[in-house]
Structures are given as structure tokens and as C-alpha cells.
Structure 1
């Protein structure tokens, strides 16, 4: 009905809550003088007002939901750490020299609303991914094991947790992506990528895998990645072949595709018996 209730009640609400700083988007700039009149008329102490330029997408237009303006909890579901999201948000429209990485303590100590940029900031998902990858890489394995549980990954009591997470820390941009990588390793492949099979299973690939299986069977102590690398190296030298001859078909047998971490790491994580089982499954299940 045209009654100016917003500017009236928001000023009273903030005053009664003891708000001393108001930081908001510059789309509220026109409301500030009106609210200041209310403060002064009612004898309230004026807070300090700061106006942050709007966040734009990479095309320089106002951010919309499809650009990333979504519920905060959605970022958790997407696999972003709280530290990364805070770091990302604090750098939208504010800077401290050339520093990009800020701990929570540094944010509290260094942030000054008087240093807020005058121009609009750009929402850049690549920057958020980069920050998130940094915090994942620098998280302890115990912390990561706990953070992965909501994504269906249970590693807390896994005896090769350290080897597995150390191998994936540098590869994952989000927890969701890391969870998928973990599952690719600890779960036996149900299918094999067609292009990978055509590329890897040529010539005597199956015979080479059979020979490698025999090498694994006669070895007693197989715990570390170096133990499996030694077995691969021994076979390569005996048969006078390149690592690709064993590496490509072995990768497909273990993971169902040609991408992933080091094969010695994969085998160390899943163990000798599971490695042999997956190789034998591929030998009998893949048509060449």
C-alpha cells in the first residue's frame, strides 16, 4: 500500500540488536539516507554503513542462480570445504595486497570494510575450485576420511587410508570428486570403457597380465606401492617390454578405464588378492 515499513523497521531492528556495522550490497545505497533519518529521529546511535558492489558473472552481468548464486548448503553437497568457501567469499570485492589464501584468523585480523573495492567483483568457479583443492591438499587424512563419509565413503578404519588419500589429495578439486575417485579404486569395476579396452587389450596383453598375476601369486610380502612397482619392473625387464605394455591393460583390469592414480598405489590399497581377482576377471570377461 506504499507504506514505507521496510526502512522504518529495519533501522529499529538493527538499533535494538546493537548493530554497529552494516555491510550490504550497493543496491541498498538509496535506502541508507532514509534509515539514517529514522535513526536520528528516534535518538539511536548511527552505525557505520558500508556498501559492497554487486557480484557479477564472468560476462559482467548480475549473478543469477545458474551462475552460482545458490543456497550455502548446496556448496557443501557439491564438496566444497567451509574454509575454501569463506576464503572465496572474503576475496569477492576485498583484497589484502596479492595474498590469496587466508586462514580464518587472518580474515578476522586483516579484513577492513574500508578496503572494500569500488568495482563489481566477478564470481569465478575456477578460482573456487582452486581454493578448494588447496584446502583439500592441506587437510589431514583423518579429517578427509571424516569429511568423505556423507558421500558414502567409509575409510576411518581402512588399513590403507593413508596411502589412498595421499595419492588423491593432489588430484581432487572437491570432496565429491574425491569420493568418486576413492570409489573407483576400492570398488571392483562392473564395466570396462570400450575405448580403453580397444587401446589397451591388443596383441599379447592378456598373456602379459597372466604372467604378472603369476608374479603376484609367488610373492609373500606385498604391502607398499614399492612392492608392486618392483613386481611390475621385474616383469618388464624379463620380457624386455615398455611399461605401457603392462601398464595400460593392467589399469583397465583394475579400474575399468585408463585414467587414475599410480597402479602400484592402486594395488597397494586393494591388496594382492583383490588385484589378482580383478586381473583374472578382466582376462576372462574382456573380449578382444
Structure 2
């Protein structure tokens, strides 16, 4: 192909941007970037009754969070109505489309008769003009739709970038409605005009669109427009084995941001959910662009694996700069009404190896800024009468250290262990329960050093 590479993503603002569309957007973006092409964002808002500004805003926010920058857009279909109507008028004039006055009752009667004869239910082309054919009289008060004159013979064949060669006979499809009675175009028509006008060269989309593709190819051909190459990626299945969708089991992209996932992790995981580069599981955005040439896309449905995503996210959290990570954790803390301070990057550095989301990291960090309460079970197990003297001895030692730092705190702990004849876990676990509400934390001296002396003494006093 000698055309400039131009891809697009065209979500409908009838709900949030879900994971399947996000993956398609990622593949489209990566393919364009790999080939030095351009990526277009189009908002398919012709479903006026169900489209909302809130959904549009969420789509744009999701694209921004994922870092899928687009070269053109957002382009809104409802702002292009005049263009669609211009093309339809030309098609009617050229005999490539026609008005149909069938009412819903007419169509249902038609289908009932076909079912009774054991036939496939297809529009019978009763309003399609043909040489020598007498059309029914135009009924009064019935606003017409416009239908496309689909070829009645032959096959539609394309070499799918994912599925390989696909052929569908024209007898399997009927004359598609391309304009509703209110003058608004239908999806299968508007998408063709858009892809034509925007010089889209490659279309990646979910394989639920395979059945739409023959109509679209026939419309492209009727308009004399160059065909894009199509690549239909398999669906993503949820835990129940059913397709993730807006109506079933899907979670919005922005919900993952709110729940503490990193965009780098989401891109990495989504890319591997239907595409591979050898055995590589973890790779950067730059590596994805370098490798994604449109090959190695799976033909089989992908299984969403929340545990795998969390593993990938944990990797990126560990790799992230502590100051940058602290900004994300600070935002999570603010949702809880907690203001952080300059200690937060060091807190993140200490705890990030234990966390798979910034929410989990905020859970740890919260204990440094707000009161904690250990469970009754932990208090009963670790804060026994026999250990309280050692806790009190540690408090005395810590109150007297000259410098409040990790080295001095570690020395004080060792002195208490020696004087009380204890092993580290016997003292460390009850101290952790008092300080952070849990018996398991990173190194005790490192944890205590991130608190003020006053806070530690106050919490130890509650033994």
C-alpha cells in the first residue's frame, strides 16, 4: 500500500470508554506511530437519543490518561450531517440509493411471511427502482428512509489483517437503510463517508463488526472510494467467559485510574491481550511502537485476567520515580480528606514493593497522617502483658535518642532487645501493631524514622 498510513478510533458516546475499545484504540495508535502515520479520534454521536456529553468527556479523559494522543479530532459526526446528506442525494440521483416508505408494520408482515415460507428474513426491495418495475403508490404521511442499492449477486471478499481472507455472498445481506426518516445517517453509511473523507487507510475494530463490513465495502465501491484495510480483533472475555461490553461486566477505563492503576501498566496489559512479541510480557510504550507492525494479532478471544493486570501494575509501581508516585498517592489521600507532606516520597519508596496499586500504597501512607486502629485480634495476639514492659522500655530509649534517624532508632531497638532478652519479632510485631495497626511492615527502624518522635511516643503509650 502506497497510501499514507492513517488510522482512527471512533467510539460512540452512549456510555463510557470500556476496555475493548481502549485496546482497539491502542492498536490503531501504535500501528500509526510504528509506520510514521496519523491517528484520528472521531466521536460517532448519531445516536442522538443515547449520546451524552458526560460520555464524551469520559472518552476524552480516558484517551488523555492512556496517553493515546491523536493527530486530528475529536471530530463529531453530528457536525457533518450536511456532508452525509450531500452524498446521499448524489447516490439517489445516480440510482445507487432510493427512498423506501415501508412502515414498521409493513416490515414485520414481510418478515412473518418469509418465516412462514422458511426463508431468511431480508428486505424484499419492494421500493427499489428497477427497469420496467412499477413501484407502489407513495403513502401519505409516511416519512421515508433511504436504502442503499446493495448488489444482488456476487461475493464480497477482503483479506482481513487478523482473520485472513473472508468472503460473504451478497445474497446474505439486503438493502441497508443508510438514512433514517429524520435525516440522520445510520452507522454503516456514516462510517464509510467518514473513513473516505478522512483518508483512513487501516481500520482496527472488534470482530463484532465483521458482519457490517460487506455493506461498508459495497458502499465504498459505489462511491468510488479507496478501501481501507480491515483488521477485526477478537473480543475480550470476562471471568464468566462472556464478552466484556458496556452492558455486561465491563469497567470504564477511568475507573482503573481511580482504583490506582498506572497508564503504563494498562497499555502494557491491553497490548498483550490479543497481541504478542515473542515471550515479552513487560515492555515500554516506545518498544510497543517499535514492534507493533500489525502482525502477531491473535485470532482467538482474549481472557481478562485481573491478577495479571495487578502483577503488571505492581511492576510499574516499583519502577516509578518516588516523587512522581507520591503525587498519585497524594491524590488518593486527598479523596479521604488526608493532606500529605514532604515525607510522602520516602514513604512510597519504603512501601511500594508491597503494593500493586496506588490505592494500596495510599492505605499504607494513610497511617502516617491519620490515627490507626489495630484489630482486636492483632492486639490480643501481640500486645500481651509480658511484652508491655519491653514496649515501655523502647519508648523510654526513643525519647532519649539524640538524633531522630534510622541509625539511632535501630541502636535503641537493639539495646531494648538485649536488655529484655527478646528476639526482634517479639518486639517488632507489637510495636508495628501500635504504630501502623498491623504486625507486618517493612524494616521497623525505617518505618519509625518516617514518623515524628512525638507521634511514635504517643502511639506506643497506647499499649
For normalisation by structure 2, the TM-score amounts to 0.57
**1:28 alignment partner, one of 209, 215, 219:** 209
Aligned position for 1:198: 380
Q: Using the alignment, how far apart are the partners of 1:204 and 1:12 within structure 2?
A: 80
- Counterpart CA distance in 2 for 1:148 and 1:161 is 8
Q: Is 1:219–2:401 an aligned residue pair?
A: yes
For residue 353 of structure 2, give the secondary structure of its aligned residue in structure 1: coil
| Deviation of 1:64 (Å) | 5.0
The structural deviation recorded for 1:27 is: 1.0
How many residues are treated as equivalent by the alignment? 278
More strand by share: 2
Partner of 1:188: 371
Specify the alignment match of 2:243 in structure 1: 62
Q: Is the 8 A contact 1:188 1:254 kept in 2?
A: no
Which structure has more relative contact order (CA 8 Å, sep 6+)? It is 1
Q: Do 2:401 and 2:409's aligned partners in 1 also have CA atoms closer than 8 Å?
A: no
Of residues 259, 269, 274 in structure 2, which corresponds to 1:88? 269
- Please name the residue that 1:210 is paired with: 392
Contact 2:401 2:408 in 1 (8 A): no
Structure 2 partner of 1:48:
229
Q: Deviations over 1:151-179 (max 9, x none)?
A: 12554x51x34432211110111111111
Determine the structure 2 residue equivalent to 1:128. Answer: 309
Q: Give, in angstroms, the shift of residue 234 of structure 1.
A: 1.4
Query: Relative to 1, partners in 2 of residues 1:145 and 1:137: Cα closer, same or farther, differing over 3 Å?
Result: same
Q: Which secondary structure state, in structure 1, belongs to the residue aligned with residue 276 of structure 2?
A: coil
Alpha-carbon RMSD: 1.9
**Separation of aligned partners in 2, 1:67 and 1:149:** 33
1:286 aligns to what? none
Out of 247, 252, 265, the residue aligned to residue 446 of structure 2 is 265
User: Structure 1 residue aligned with 2:255, among 55, 74, 77?
Assistant: 74
Greater helix proportion: 1
Matched, 1:3 2:169: no
Q: How far did residue 229 of structure 1 move?
A: 2.1
Runs of 4+ in 1 over 6 A off after TM superposition: none
Residues in 2 aligned to 1:106 and 1:243: alpha-carbon distance in whole angstroms:
45
Counterpart position of 1:103: 284
Match of 1:251 in 2: 432
Judging changes above 3 Å, is the alpha-carbon distance between structure 1 residues 113 and 182 closer, same or farther for their aligned structure 2 residues? same
Gaps of 5+ in 2: 1-103, 105-175, 179-185
Q: What secondary structure is seen at the aligned counterpart in 2 of 1:113?
A: coil
Q: Residues of 1 paired with 2:438 and 2:330: CA distance?
A: 25
